[in-house]
Amino acid sequence: MGAKLPRLGPPGNRGPPGAVGSRTVTRSTDAAARDAAVLWHPYSRRSGAVPPREVVGAQGCRLHLADGSTPLDAMSSWWCMVHGYRHPRLDAAVHAQVDRFSHVMFGGLTHAPAVELAERLVAMTPEPLRHVFLADSGSVSVEVALKICAQVQLGRGRTGRHRMLTVAGGYHGDTLAPMGVCDPDNGMHAMFRGVLTEHVFAPRPPIWAPTSLAAGAGWGTQAASPSADAALASWAAETRRIAAEHAHELAGIVVEPVLQGAGGMRAYDPRALHVLREIADEHGLVLVLDEIATAFGRTGTLFGADHAAGVDPEGRPVVPDVLCVGKALTGGYLSLAAVVATDEVAAAVDATGALMHGPTFMGNPLACAAANASLDLLAEGEWRTQVPCIEAGLQQHLAPALDLPTVRDVRVLGAVGVLETTAPVDLPALTEAALRRGVWVRPFGTLVYTMPPYVATPEEVATIATGLVEAVSETVTEAGPR
């Protein structure tokens, strides 16, 4: 039996004096059933949506579902729960901050958790990054970064520079400005063409062959092949041509460093970052690196851009003018992101008057406390052994998928594993097949992937990878061209 709950509504729906509302909704004891009546989920329709599964708890790498099952979370809750669920130090940090104060406006006020977080981000990012803007989420941080690019050009007296140069296959978030720099054809925002600002797109950089098991390389071989050199040179020439053609209207360059996430789960040659840095310097553009998904160890280095130094004969790093971080920043506990900029960028923005952005929940103390605890754990360095261990396990246990006629490629980089199928997957069927094997996964398109929490044991990684291979084998039956 369900209980009738009063429903708040506009004045026209009010009941008699003293009543909360005249409309009621029936409350079932089943949250999933109630969900279907009132909630819109990410990337879903209101009618005919697949019912969600109710989570009643979580611990370590496991979700505790209402049906009593405890699947391994292969997604780290969309890539952010790097320390796992209910980590005692993160729990303690948030509880301690609740006992002080949970929120305060950031306009004209400050607090120790935010100051400490900014100091730590400046200390761990490369010179000359040293000015921190705290944002609500990864997408909002990219919004801020794009505003910064435009304001920098205005501050330098360069009018008419408001477009961005980016590459095909990218993904930078679902708010309006970041949508404009996502892949315009194969991304998730094609229906908004005409609404979004039209930016300038260069080709997708060539794939980083060592990350593709189908290429027979596997992670660890850093020497560039002649074919890789030729592919990079061709891409660089075309990208330089496009940049030169549009330089008069460009404010900056924005890319995900090395690993393109929701735009294709694909790693590209890190040497491309050196090319983009050179183009930015040549044309006076602001280079923005969107490290929302890649920062804090996910690809095997502290930042995704660190791979650029690893493949450079002289070990030269690629340092952006603006850096965006999020997701793992708080260990997944609360939504928070940060934008870190150089002195030169800050001075140019100041020349326009002020950085024109100010979210209500900017610098939320609870989120900052969680972030500081998360950075404590990262600073202890255990991820430096955890991520290579996950990488090795993913390589070993995903490799059998190459024998499936429905799998085009298997890719592994750090704690990221991807099965690319020859035809789009049946999301409900594959999800159910994976759950029967004790794994929660959320594929999209032709990509079945995992980003496990760093605390996943070798046995848990094996369960995840094997579960994905078996789920693909069971549910993806339409073999397309490989």
Q: Which two tokens stand for residue 474?
A: 């069971």
Distance CA 269, CA 210 (A): 9
Ligand-binding annotation for 360, yes or no, is yes
H-assigned helices in 341-477: 343-350, 365-379, 383-398, 427-436, 458-475
What is the CA 187 to chain-centroid distance, rounded?
A: 14
Residues 6+ apart with CB under 8 A from 123: none
The label of the residue with tokens 């850093």 reads 222
Q: Which long-range contacts (C-beta less than 8 Å, at least 24 apart) are formed by 112-117?
A: 113/365, 113/368, 113/369, 113/371, 113/372, 114/363, 114/365, 114/368, 116/368, 116/372, 117/338, 117/368, 117/371, 117/372, 117/375
Ligand-binding annotation for 442, yes or no, is yes
Task: Considering the candidates 290, 306, 321, 409, report the single residue annotated as catalytic.
Answer: 290
Is residue 4 annotated as part of the catalytic site, yes or no?
no
Ligand-binding annotation for 139, yes or no, is yes
Task: Considering the candidates 85, 171, 333, 449, report the single residue annotated as catalytic.
Answer: 171
Ligand-binding annotation for 475, yes or no, is no
Ligand-binding annotation for 76, yes or no, is no
CA angle 51, 55, 57 (to 5 degrees): 175
Ligand-binding annotation for 171, yes or no, is yes
Is residue 35 annotated as part of the catalytic site, yes or no?
no
Beta-carbon count within 10 A of 347 CB:
14
Ligand-binding annotation for 290, yes or no, is yes
Is residue 268 annotated as part of the catalytic site, yes or no?
no
Task: Considering the candidates 43, 99, 185, 403, report the single residue annotated as catalytic.
Answer: 43
**Phi-psi sector, 111: left (phi>0), alpha (psi -120 to 50), beta:** beta
For residues 24 and 2, is the Cβ–Cβ distance under 8 A? no
Sign of the CA dihedral 363, 296, 208, 406? negative
Is residue 290 annotated as part of the catalytic site, yes or no?
yes
Task: Considering the candidates 73, 85, 136, 327, report the single residue annotated as catalytic.
Answer: 327
Distance CA 454, CA 331 (A): 11
Ligand-binding annotation for 147, yes or no, is no
Enumerate the known binding-site residues for pyridoxal 5'-phosphate: 138-139, 290, 359-360
Q: Which residues are catalytic?
A: 43, 171, 290, 327
Q: Which residues are annotated as a binding site for substrate?
A: 78, 171, 327, 358, 442
User: Per the annotation, where are the binding residues?
Assistant: 78, 138-139, 171, 290, 327, 358-360, 442
